[in-house]
A = this chain, B = another copy of it.
Amino acid sequence: MTRNVAVAPDTRPEMYKMMCNAVKRSGATLTGVEDAEGLIWADPARPELFPEIVETATFLEWIQLPYAGIEPFANNLDPKWRWTCGKGVYAPAVAETVLALALSLSKNLHGYARATEWSGPIGRYLHGSNVTILGGGGITVELLPLLAPFDCVTTVIRKKAENLPGATFTYTPEKLEEVLETTDLLILALALTEETRGIIDKKALGLMPSHSHIVNVARGGHIVTDDLIEALKEGKIAGAALDVTDPEPLPAGNPLWSDPRCLITPHIGNTPEMGLKLLDPFIEENVRRFINNEELLAPVDVELGY
């Protein structure tokens, strides 16, 4: 037994080709959308093509999106289909970026990179720090083992009241304010929803110690940008490394670009080179599960929107 699976759109040739090959390797029959029971969406940059493309679908049951976050598709999340996304797929890449950004702040590498002459020693240990991670998803699961040798106290704040293996503490969001007060390093790795938008605002920043650092690899909208600009300028926190910004791309001239306490990276947690390499075996596996009626990886909860 097999299933019909389509790949669309074909606007991004390298990705399209790789996804088609993954579908074939899985044992599915690669078809057009009109015959497809499953659809692999193959261009993260073109969600606006979706309505037109699925219009021709009659047998469609399942849609696989290539994103970790699915905001670009929020308006299309029809519960008549099963949706899966790329959450967790890119997590190993993003977890490396989190540690890179955290260590960069700890050792003032962003400051030294900008220097043109020898200067005094700045730097502190990551070892033994109080690390608070917002979000208990794939990035956090991949990050905790990378942090393990640093003997940090890791506090994960997640919606689900269930301990995350490898974390020192797991709490639900009610504890956030209390935990921020003793946080040395705050890592944002949660989904963007109406509840979490702007979760790091003037009040939250005001609770954090003045030596604390923030790393954001989730979505720019989790942080109120103007509040962060002010907190950095006034020294309410010691540094921020942002792989995502609000707005994104961050416009040239935004004060964060020139803030000595801030490092901006242009959403490199998952570069195309790294991303395709990770997505390829994942698509093959999820199509294989679809054929065999097994539980699909990375399901989207259409109600919750992630």
Contact = CB atoms under 8 A, between A and B. Distances in A.
A263 B113 contact: yes
A123 B250 contact: no
A100 to B, nearest CB: 4
Nearest to A263: B113
A264 B127 contact: no
Nearest to A264: B112
A123 B274 contact: yes
Report the copy number of this chain in the oligomer. 2
Contacts of A249: 118
Contact of A107 (B100, B252, B273): B100
B101 A97 contact: no
Given A114-B113, A117-B257, A265 B149 contact: no
A24 interface: no
Contact of A250 (B111, B118, B145): B118
B121 A266 contact: yes
Contacts of A99: 99, 103
Contact of A109 (B113, B117, B127, B150): B113
Contacts of A121: 266-268, 271-273
A1 interface: no
Contacts of A263: 109, 112-113
B265 A109 contact: yes
Interface in A89-132: 92-93, 96-97, 99-101, 103-104, 106-127
Contacts of A150: 96, 146
A265 B107 contact: yes
A78 to B, nearest CB: 31
Contacts of A103: 96, 99-100, 103-104
A13 B113 CA distance: 32
Contact of A127 (B96, B101, B126, B266): B96
Interface in A270-289: 271-274
A26 to B, nearest CB: 24
A258 interface: yes
Contact of A117 (B113, B127, B252): B252
Interface of A: 92-93, 96-97, 99-101, 103-104, 106-127, 145-146, 148-150, 249-252, 257-258, 263-268, 271-274
7 contacts: A96-B107, A99-B103, A101-B107, A108-B268, A109-B109, A111-B113, A122-B271
Given A107-B265, A108-B268, A118-B250, 13 more contacts: A96-B103, A96-B107, A99-B99, A100-B103, A100-B104, A107-B268, A109-B263, A112-B265, A113-B113, A117-B251, A117-B252, A121-B273, A123-B268
